[in-house]
Amino acid sequence: MNRAALAGEGEVRDRALARPPVLIVGNFLSAAGASRGVCEDLVLRLRGAGWTVQATSASRGRLRRLADMLLTAWTRRHEYAISQVDVYSGPAFLWALAVTSLLRVIGKPYVLTLHGGRLPRFSRRWPRSVRRVLKSARAVTVPSGYLLREMKPYRADMVLLPNPLDVAAYPFSVRSQPRPRLVWLRAFHETYNPSLAPAVLAVLVARIPEVSLTMIGPDRGDGSLEATLAAAARLGVADRLRVVPGVPKEDVGRALSEADVFLNTTNVDNTPVSVLEAMACGLCVVSTNVGGIADLVDDGRDGILVRPADAAAMADAILRVLGDPSLAARLSGNARRKAELFDWSIVLPKWERVLQSAVLDD
């Protein structure tokens, strides 16, 4: 073989090491109306950077989704060098357990990404299973300092990779004269305590008659949407509440920017992308102080944190923001600057290094 041919083979090998083909295993359900997961954007960003990426699964049923994940991992085992697998608590943990077991059998290295504010509690209940899954991974990434701390007993060398976003897609303006227009953006599920939002609205009406609230998000079907609407009717604020089933990802920035104050009412949380999106738009964030929220929002600097399930405390925080232009402007500007640290331009190279290092560990 001549020198040119050898050099060509070397270049191909180097490119393969630089960008090994990847299988991403997670929930790709935004086309079915569910919230868009970080894994969906990760696929697009890696492909845009020249990586060969396959993804699974977009199947809606839980068992069908698991079957699709396993089938894809097996039938395409010769087409990828490494896999990235999302890990959640509850029944979804079984998907990660099953997929990683198969990956070990076929000799494929994998990187795990931990998600969800409930995962620490789940891990305390099932420590052996969690340790088993995490121990065999080439690397484990977490999106927050909260999970980094809480999951350390199960794996000490985890990598902090925050949930990223395309900051340029979120129109920004400083809220120096905030209007009493509130917005809430999550799925309607008891975890996120959506019924607290109309309770906050009811407290505010007595002080600010023109206040309004828009709640954006899909219905998870656990009765939370109905309970929220019933609470609004019972509290006499139904005419000030607008519910939007959801908006496409590309329209989230525009929808958020119609308001000036963002409510996050959750009882359990990690590092929610919805809060990051609100910060990128420069909204004044008022959130419950649970889980990893304090790792994302610096109380009094780029948002205000209050006790969970306390409508009066959340309403008082909103009144502070609306009544103090200098506070509102400071929260707004600092929130945007914080969000810029989570831009894909910063986070994607970190992802690439994690995947490359995991393959080179062979």
Residue spans of the domains in the chain: they are 11-164+344-360, 167-340
Q: Is the peptide bond before 224 cis (omega within 30 degrees of 0)?
A: no
Residue 344's φ and ψ, nearest 5 degrees, are -55, -30
Confidence of residue 236 (pLDDT cuts 50, 70, 90): very high
Tokens of 125: 């209940």
Q: What is the pLDDT of residues 332-341, one digit of tens each?
A: 999 999 999 9
Mean pLDDT of 206-218: 96
Q: Please name the helix (run of DSSP H) or strand (run of DSSP E) that holds residue 216, with its range, or none.
A: strand 212-216
- What pLDDT does 313 receive? 98
- Give the integer Cα–Cα distance in Å for 358 and 362: 8
Q: Is it the case that residue 131 has pLDDT exceeding 90?
A: yes
The dihedrals phi and psi of 195, each to the nearest 5 degrees, come to -65, -20
What is the pLDDT of the chain when averaged over all its residues? 93
Average pLDDT over residues 282-298: 96
What single-letter amino acid sits at 75? Answer: T
Task: Give me the pLDDT at residue 35, please.
Answer: 72
290: left (phi over 0), alpha (psi -120 to 50) or beta: beta
194, 186 contact by CB (below 8 A): yes
Q: What are phi and psi of 211, to 5 degrees?
A: -65, 145
pLDDT greater at residue 362 or residue 232: 232
The pLDDT tens digits for 156-182 are 999 999 999 999 999 999 999 999 999
CA–CA distance, 92 with 104 (Å, rounded to integer): 19
Average pLDDT score over residue span 186-194: 95
Write the CB contacts of 316 (distance below 8 Å, at least 6 apart in sequence): 306
Domain covering 167-340: architecture: 3-Layer(aba) Sandwich (3.40)
Residues 220 and 229: their CA atoms lie apart, in Å, by 15
Name the 3-class secondary structure at 19.
coil
Residue 362 — very low, low, confident or very high, per pLDDT cuts 50/70/90? low
Going from the C-alpha of 253 to that of each of 166, 257, 276, the distances in angstroms are: 10, 6, 11
Contact 306, 286 (CB under 8 A): yes
**Cα 172 to the center of its chain, rounded Å:** 20
Q: Above 70 in pLDDT, residue 13?
A: no
- 31-90 tens-digit pLDDT: 766 677 889 999 999 999 999 999 999 998 889 999 999 999 999 999 999 999 999 999
How many Å apart are CA 139 and CA 183, to the nearest integer?
37
Percent of the chain predicted with pLDDT > 90: 87
Instruction: Please state the separation of Cα 253 from the chain's center in Å.
Output: 15
Q: Tell me the C-alpha to C-alpha distance, in Å, between residue 297 and each of 77, 200, 215, 285.
A: 41, 20, 21, 8
CATH number belonging to domain 11-164+344-360: 3.40.50.2000
